[in-house]
Amino acid sequence: MSTTEKVTLTLPHELMQMVRTMAPRRGQSQFVAEALEYFIETKRRQLLREELAAGYQAAAQESLALAAEWEEVDNEAWEKHLPPYEEGEPGNGTPDSSR
């Protein structure tokens, strides 16, 4: 922080007791400032995650519709460019005959 501002806060007694046990008297302002920065960054990340989740959920139906629209073309491409499995070949659900 480049500049500081003196403020007066009213905090619960128990909370200030915890601050006093964790920070030296001359370091309490810095301790509170760091705690606030951490809290604000945590909240900012939480809001961003919520916004991203809402965006993905809003686009989910559109994405599923688009995938369904192209499913036939996609399947044709797979059939055209990938040879069919041979009997006993690994990956076709039958045991590998070479083992």
Q: Is 91 inside any structural domain?
A: no
- At a CB cut-off of 8 Å and minimum separation 6, what does 87 contact? 94
Do 97 and 90 form a contact (C-beta atoms < 8 A)? Answer: no
Q: Is 9 inside any structural domain?
A: no
Return the SS3 of 19: helix
Q: What pLDDT is stored for residue 85 in this prediction?
A: 74
Q: Mean pLDDT of residues grouped by 10 in the chain (99 residues)?
A: 87 96 94 97 98 92 90 88 76 55
For 62, the domain range is: 20-81
Q: Is 11 inside any structural domain?
A: no
- Is the pTM for the entire model greater than 0.85? no
- Count of domains observed in the chain: 1
Q: Is 56 inside any structural domain?
A: yes
Q: Is 44 inside any structural domain?
A: yes
Q: Is 59 inside any structural domain?
A: yes
Q: Is 86 inside any structural domain?
A: no
